[in-house]
Amino acid sequence: MPQTSVVFSSFLGPSCSGQAQPGMGERGGGAGGGSGDLIFQEGRLISGSLEALMEHLVPRVDYYPDRTYIFTFLLSSRVFVPPRDLLARVGQICLEQRQQLEAGPEKAKLKSFSAKIVQLLKEWTEAFPYDFQDEKAMAELKAITHRVTQCDEENGTVKKAIAQMTQSLLLSLAARSQFQELREKLRPPAVDKGPVLKTKPPAAQKDILGVCCDPLVLAQQLTHIELDRVSSIHPEDLMQIISHMDSLDNHRVSGRGLWPALGPQPVPHVVKKKHRTRMLEFFIDVARECFNIGNFNSMMAIISGMNLSPVARLKKTWSKVKTAKFDILEHHMDPSSNFCNYRTALQGATQRSQMANSSREKIVIPVFNLFVKDIYFLHKIHTNHLPNGHINFKKFWEISRQIHEFMTWTQVECPFEKDKKIQSYLLTAPIYSEEALFIASFESEGPENHMEKDSWKTLRTTLLNRA
């Protein structure tokens, strides 16, 4: 598993509720009392019934949940209950506590209690705005806020906080909707049919060297795109992925659709061997610059692209390439020992980010499919429920830690100047299918053995049938 941020580890701390906790293995009553116990170990909440965990989320006059507990429970609870149902239950608990305050001797503390409820809702809407996208959830939010404003008739401070929270929530939902529409517009076209692919590309279609010949600049532009795309990923998106993946084989987690196609796919289409060699060496340098920046996702995409069979089989081209730098990059991405070399490099980049004085040093873009697989396996190898029926909250602490660390990386502002021309090329260049790449590869360097000759013959037959 990737190393968890030292900063976030201390942020979580041994205590998870903002109050002193029972000792190892001791039970603590739920926030409402009598609804199910919470189990603590060395002051750390490790399990509890769903009802007790929900009650532990809701503030009281003398209690407010720790921020890390709020984030972790709101993130993990969607595995067991839809967010709108959780919101409805939170509303019920709030109403019950409000009624108790109104009927008891602590009525004067009602306003303080209402302010804490609004603060909880504010943190919820900021961390998980998409939980409120449907009408039922928004209606429930309005119902809760309406009840808590009834105690704020004098100066309206609670009402003002609710108005600000609601405005921020609506802006977040609008921004996410706009980004999804833009992403669909910028999705590059897939080029699958062989007749479209000729040995010589159309005059209007430049290769990457005609747009950018500086590896560092291209690496910086790729980093721009990566950070733009990754900023649209939300914690609940990651939780939904790992919760609904029946198997990794049947569910693509490579990030295509979130990330652009970055591999050197056009290489087989280049006519002259000398130019193909230059193209490969250029991409090797780009991958190295991505590694230095901390952009491991683009680096992996480029290396994977170079190892695709249609590219790897170009032996005459590769014979002219100086591969020493490529060998080093492949060493960093060696899959043996569960990508041990990559994880060491990622840990180093993470530590650099934590101690960074500039935005350039803060950049960490992990290999997305490996990150998702890590939290997926963490989710699969540990059960959701313990033998006593409690939710295994210790498991969700760890998943939350890793997702939170990922989210801190997504918030880094890219320090590099954006080049619209290069970005437009990267975002709109066609994505070639494996079949199309093989056709271009065989046209560049003919088949050398019986297997390749059979493959080439099959591809040509397919082309003729399509024509």
DSSP letters of 369-415? HHHHHHHHHHHHHS-SB-TTS-EEHHHHHHHHHHHHHHHHHHTPPP-
Predicted confidence at residue 324, as pLDDT, reads 94
Predicted confidence at residue 400, as pLDDT, reads 95
What is the tens place of the pLDDT at every residue in 39-60? 999 889 999 999 999 999 999 9
pLDDT at 464 over 90: no
> Which of 189-193, 328-332, 414-418 is least confident?
189-193
Q: d(Cα 265, Cα 310) in Å, to the nearest integer?
A: 9
Predicted confidence at residue 157, as pLDDT, reads 84
* Sheet containing 44-48: order of strands: 26-29, 37-41, 44-48, 391-392
Predicted confidence at residue 7, as pLDDT, reads 33
Per-residue tokens: 401? 């830690």
Mean pLDDT of the chain: 82
What is the tens place of the pLDDT at every residue in 50-98? 999 999 999 998 899 999 999 999 999 999 999 999 999 999 999 898 8
Predicted confidence at residue 37, as pLDDT, reads 86
Phi, psi of 5 (to 5 degrees): -55, 130
What is the tens place of the pLDDT at every residue in 238-249? 998 888 775 444
Place of tokens 């069979």: 309
Q: Dihedral sign, CA of 93, 94, 99, 102? A: positive
Predicted confidence at residue 253, as pLDDT, reads 40
Mean pLDDT over 247-267 rounds to 44
What is the tens place of the pLDDT at every residue in 117-151? 999 999 999 999 999 998 999 999 999 998 887 76
Task: Please give the model's pTM, rounded to 2 decimal places.
Answer: 0.81
> Which of 5-9, 83-87, 94-98, 186-190 is least confident?
5-9
